[in-house]
Amino acid sequence: MSDRFNAFLHSKLKPLVGSEGPLLGTNIAIKDNILVKDWPATAGSKILEGFIAPYDATVIRRLKESGATLVGKTNLDEFAMGSSTENSAFGPTKNPWDIKRVPGGSSGGSAAAVAADLCDVALGSDTGGSVRQPAAFCGVTGLKPTYGSVSRYGLIALASSLDVIGPFARDAKTVEKVFSVISGADKNDQTTIDYNYKQIEIDLSKLKVGLPKELWELSIDPEIKAAVRKMVDWLAAGGAKIVDVSLPSVVYALPAYYVILPAECSANLSRYDGIRYQQSVMKEGQKLLERYMDTRALFGSEVKRRILIGTFALSVGHYDAYYQTAINVKDKITADHERVFKEVDILLTPTTPGLPFEFGAKNDPVEMYQSDLLTVAANLAGVPGLSLPCGFSKSDLPIGAQLIGAKCQDNLLLSVAKQYQEETDFHLKKPRGI
């Protein structure tokens, strides 16, 4: 970092303390792709190093008005592209449960900060699992809200049709409190819906829980399956009806997602052209295209990879074969979810197919992308998903269960999670030394 930027951090980046409201005394950390006025906003990229946010994101304004104390920014995979927080230009984040392992991504810094007791709450963003997967890896609770229930104004865009801001906390009760503050329509984001959050209490004996066979039949670590099955048993013991359901199109969710996301990010990241924002590479006599190319060389390898894939998918002769096909799959996934939620109230799956892995263990991009196998469908369908701790492996690594609901049924997921956490202690356990 430059001396000027370091000086700024030491002199200006101080906690913003609220004065009144429902979140008074709540310490909140913010993923560094969400704008906080007069604070740095890097999105984990060298291309934004030194950029200072000129305004507050809508979620930040609402947090300030609620009395929350903003304590700092958290690390992420560059431009939220990754599942391990290894792709940050400023170095990786470590998992508090085992510092040799990743905290998940892309919101790994936020999940790790909550797990390590550095804050009460942290905000993240979820485009394909980037709240839920790190929540599972770090043993905390994380909500991906219904698409449109939380304003994206002031969120540095990755894939605009999929991005959602969501909170992390140790327990669902705190997540609910924060979500009720940040949700709702916003004139600055025309994709938001008139969402007035209402807390509910659910009678488990009247709950119908679906187990999507296509997701449960995937290659999932046996310890994870066993832990989530115990949550199924808890629901059944409370009187819930457990049924197997089918979502036939979700087997195509991951490939569709990795066409749609690169396509949208290639468009969204075109704004980093060496003229606007912070970093620019200028040489005497340099032509405009050369300036663009030299500046965009500051992007990391994963960002470049996805821009290239997305640009190819949108190019003449390939648009219908790739992007339009992926959109058709997205529509089928949405329709499958709408159908299944006429049969059941919620879906239950593991959050991740594997346990937190060691740094450098997934060098193959496709292998890394498979970390999102169980989470991407909820983003494509626009429905809410919540990850909560449901057990631990033999090596004392946290395991997460994922609840998925129909659109605008975030309160149902939170109600089930609160009841579960009142009767178990998984969310109370902290990493050694914390």
- Locate tokens 């999929």: which residue? 162
CA distance 201 to 107: 30
Structure token digits, residue 337: 């979810």
Residues 6+ apart with CB under 8 A from 249: 329, 332, 333, 335, 336
The catalytically annotated residue of 106, 107, 125, 415 is: 106
CA distance 93 to 433: 17
Amino acid 392 reads: F
Q: Is 315 exposed, middle or buried (0-12, 13-18, 19+ CB in 10 A)?
A: exposed
Which of 333, 414, 426, 346 lies closest to 143, judged by CA? 414
Closest CA to 227 of 37, 56, 111, 354: 354
Among residues 31, 73, 144, 418, the one annotated as catalytic is 31
CB atoms under 10 Å from CB of 336, counted, come to 21
Give the number of other CB atoms < 10 A from CB of residue 96.
25
First to last CA, the chain: 30
Distance CA 3, CA 9 (A): 10
> Has 130 been annotated as catalytic?
yes
Helices (H), 217-324: 222-237, 253-268, 288-296, 301-314
Whether 102 contacts 108, CB under 8 Å: yes
> Is 31 annotated in the active site?
yes
CB 94 within 8 A of CB 186: no
The answer to whether 391 and 374 are in contact (CB under 8 A) is: no
Is residue 144 annotated as a catalytic residue, yes or no?
A: no
Q: Which of 84, 88, 130, 151 is catalytic?
A: 130
Token pair listed for 385: 């998903």
Rg of the chain over Cα atoms, rounded to whole angstroms, equals: 21
Token pair belonging to 251: 């087997």
Give one DSSP letter per residue of 10-69, joined into a string.
HHH---B---SSTTTT-EEEEETTB--TTSB--TT-GGGTT-B-SS--HHHHHHHHTT-E
Cis peptide leading into 106, omega within 30 of 0?
Answer: yes
Describe the strand order of the beta sheet including 141-144 as a list of residue ranges. 69-74, 27-31, 121-126, 164-169, 141-144, 385-392, 398-405, 346-350, 208-212, 241-245
As annotated, the active-site residues are: 31, 106, 130
